[in-house]
Structures are given as structure tokens and as C-alpha cells.
Copies of this chain bind each other. A is one copy, B any other.
Amino acid sequence: VYSIGEFSRITGLSIKTLRFYHDKGLLVPSYVERGSGYRYYDAGNSEKALVIVQLRTFGFSLQQIREILDQHDDEAGILDYLERQHRVMLGRVAEFGETARRLEAIIHKEREARRLMQESTFEVEEKHVNKMQIAGIRMTGRYSDCGAGFGKVCRAFGRWTCGKPFLLHYSQEYRETDADFEACVPIRKAHKQVEGVSVRELPGGRCVSLLHKGPYEDLGRSYEKVFAYLQGKDLRTIVPSREIYIKGPGMIFRGNPKKYLTEIQFLIEE
């Protein structure tokens, strides 16, 4: 027989836990001394304790462990318990995995925004953009309605997106209520077709780009800079132009519009 301290070292269960299990009737010491109340455990207790420890590692609650111990003494009898617990574990893996992926997406986005912030000169520059697979929804209306379009695309292709959402501008001039634009998001592969969503390859090429920092209302001034540059170099552009939302209202916070980052891209006719 062992004192509670010895038994604690044997089983790896704390003294508090052993007293708690005694209280709950889960693991009753083979002998309790009258007067002192000292608990003494024997070999039978220690076998039961090992089973309890094992069952705990499988995530069973003490209530379930009690049921199992009361009714069964081999693995065959608790197959249904094990199967249920297996499903519980798979559910948790899926849940936390999904949470991890969502966190990763936000972290990745923030890091890239930070990198771009530091690297950018915030001047008009020329660069090359690659072609990419996209999913987009063409709309006519106010620019502020584009949120609905992005919502739709993301609901349909949320799992396959692989970059920042952007807008394609088909109107040559500014239109208040009937602008012609397309809410797009880059996707990994053209897995499927969805009603009302255009899935296709967007061509790459040489482009003029400007990183705009600040609220969307101030975009006009950045467009002015780009147009001045284009005219100065006598470059002809390809419709539609692109507006890439590198950093805007976040998944969590609305954020500070002064810190929003938007890239304006005009592809150039060669």
C-alpha cells in the first residue's frame, strides 16, 4: 500500500487530483485511516489509475470515464465511445485548423502590406505584372457598392483565393452612379464555374503603378499623378485599369483609413 504522496509519484496524478477523484468516487483509496483521514492506495487502485490516465489523454470527461469504468473492462466494449471521441477529435482538428488558416491569411496580408510600405517610394513607377487566374463579378453602379461583389466572389471562391482583391475599371471617366467595374480576386486554379462569376486568366505585361496611402476619397489625387506620368511619357494604356486593395478595412478592425494602401495599375500598350 502507498500513501497519497507515493501514489501521486507512481501515477503522475497530483495529490489534489487524487483527493478530487476520491471525492467524486472515481478512484477510492483501498483504505482510509479513521481519525487521521489518511488515504492509502493499493495495486488495484494503481491499475485503475493508469486506465484513468489513459482515458484522460483521449479527452474523455470524468463523467464519461466514470461510465466507462463502471461498465467495461476491455477496449472492445468501449468501441462506440472511442469512435465518438475520434469524431470529436477530427472535429476539433478541422475547427482549429480552419482558425489557424484564417489567422495565417491575416498575418500574411499584414506582413506583405508592411513590406510594401517600407519598400515603396510612393512615386509612380514602371514594372512588370504577371498574368493570373481570377474570378470576377462585373457590376454597374456606385463604386461603394463593390463590397457586395467582393462578398459574392469570396463566398464562391473563398477557399481558392490567393491574393488581394482588386477592382477592374472599365469606365474611361469618373461615373458617380453608373460606373462600370468588376470586383475580382486572384484564385489558385479555375476549379469551377459559378453563375454570374467570370473565371478567366487576366493577362500580364508592362504597367505603370502607384502605391496610394490614405483613404479612398483621396484616390483622385493619386490618379492625377499617374495620368501626368502617362502623358509625360506619351504612353497609351489598356482598359480596364486596376485598383488593388493591399490594405483596407481588415477582417477584424475597420482600421484607420489614413493607413489604407491601394495600388493603382495601368497596363501599357507596347
Interface residues on A, range: 35 or more
Q: Does A110 contact B (CB under 8 A)?
A: yes
Known contacts A92-B92, A97-B93, A253-B51; A103/B79 CB under 8 A: no
Return the contact of A47 from the options B47, B113, B254, B259 (Cβ within 8 A): B254
- A92 to B: closest C-beta gap in Å: 4
Tell which of A70-78, A140-148, A150-158, A193-201 binds the partner.
A70-78
Number of copies: 2
Q: Which residue of B lies closest to A114 (CB)?
A: B76
Tell which of A34-42, A53-61, A235-243 binds the partner: A53-61
- Indicate which residue in B51, B54, B73, B103 contacts A82 across the interface (CB closer than 8 Å): B103
* Residue pair B79, A107 in contact (C-beta under 8 Å): yes
How far is A103 from B75 in the complex, measured between Cα atoms in Å?
11
Chain B residue with minimal CB distance to A86? Answer: B103
Which residues of chain B come closer than 8 Å to A114, judged between CB atoms?
A: 76
A104 to B113, CA, bound (A): 43
User: Could you say which residues of chain B place their CB within 8 Å of the CB of A78?
Assistant: 252
Specify which of B59, B75, B86 is in contact with A252 (CB 8 Å cutoff): B75
The answer to whether B75 and A253 have CB atoms under 8 Å apart is yes
For the complex, is A83 an interface residue (Cβ under 8 Å from B)? yes
Across the interface, do B82 and A251 meet the contact criterion of CB distance under 8 Å?
no
Q: Known pairs A76-B113, A76-B114, A89-B99; list 18 more (Cβ under 8 Å).
A: A47-B254, A51-B253, A55-B252, A58-B102, A58-B103, A59-B99, A73-B253, A73-B255, A73-B256, A74-B253, A75-B250, A75-B253, A86-B104, A89-B100, A92-B92, A93-B97, A93-B100, A96-B96
A122 CB, min distance to chain B CBs, angstroms = 17
